[in-house]
Amino acid sequence: NAGVTQTPKFRVLKTGQSMTLLCAQDMNHEYMYWYRQDPGMGLRLIHYSVGEGTTAKGEVPDGYNVSRLKKQNFLLGLESAAPSQTSVYFCASSYQGLAGSEQYFGPGTRLTVT
């Protein structure tokens, strides 16, 4: 049981390049999330999904797209990277519970855009 995994762990992009971050979970969770963490700002929600084939915008969605074609995978895309997207990206998943439930996080992807 690997939990939540993220690929790649590190990446350096040049401004204008594109890339896709992959998140996979093996816990059969319905909900999946993408966050970014910047110094002094905690984690901010980019996009999320409440089930296969569904996606929705979070707090900071501009410049990102996502897809959830399979229940276990959640992809985050950057079509044209900008230096402002330099950050650490975390994927998370959670079980759909009635009384709230904790999210399980992956190890993160450190992205630098030059």
Partner 1 sequence: DQQVKQNSPSLSVQEGRISILNCDYTNSMFDYFLWYKKYPAEGPTFLISISSIKDKNEDGRFTVFLNKSAKHLSLHIVPSQPGDSAVYFCAASVSQGAQKLVFGQGTRLTINP
Q: Whole-angstrom Cα distance, residue 83 to residue 95?
A: 34
Task: Rule CB under 8 A: choose which of 19, 44, 61, 67 binds partner 1.
Answer: 44
Identify the CA nearest to 107 among candidates 27, 26, 2: 2
Instruction: Give residues with Cβ within 8 angstroms of 62, minimum separation 6.
Output: none
41 touches partner 1 (CB under 8 A)? yes
34 touches partner 1 (CB under 8 A)? no
Q: Transcribe 1-34 into DSSP letters.
A: ---EEEE-SEEEE-TT--EEEEEEESS--SEEEE
- Between 63 and 104, name the residue whose CB sits nearer to partner 1: 104
Coil, helix or strand for 79? coil
CB of 5 to partner 1, least distance (A): 10
90 touches partner 1 (CB under 8 A)? yes
55 touches partner 1 (CB under 8 A)? no
106 touches partner 1 (CB under 8 A)? yes
Binding site for partner 1 (CB under 8 A): 4, 31, 33, 35, 40-45, 48, 50, 56, 58-59, 90, 92, 94, 97-108
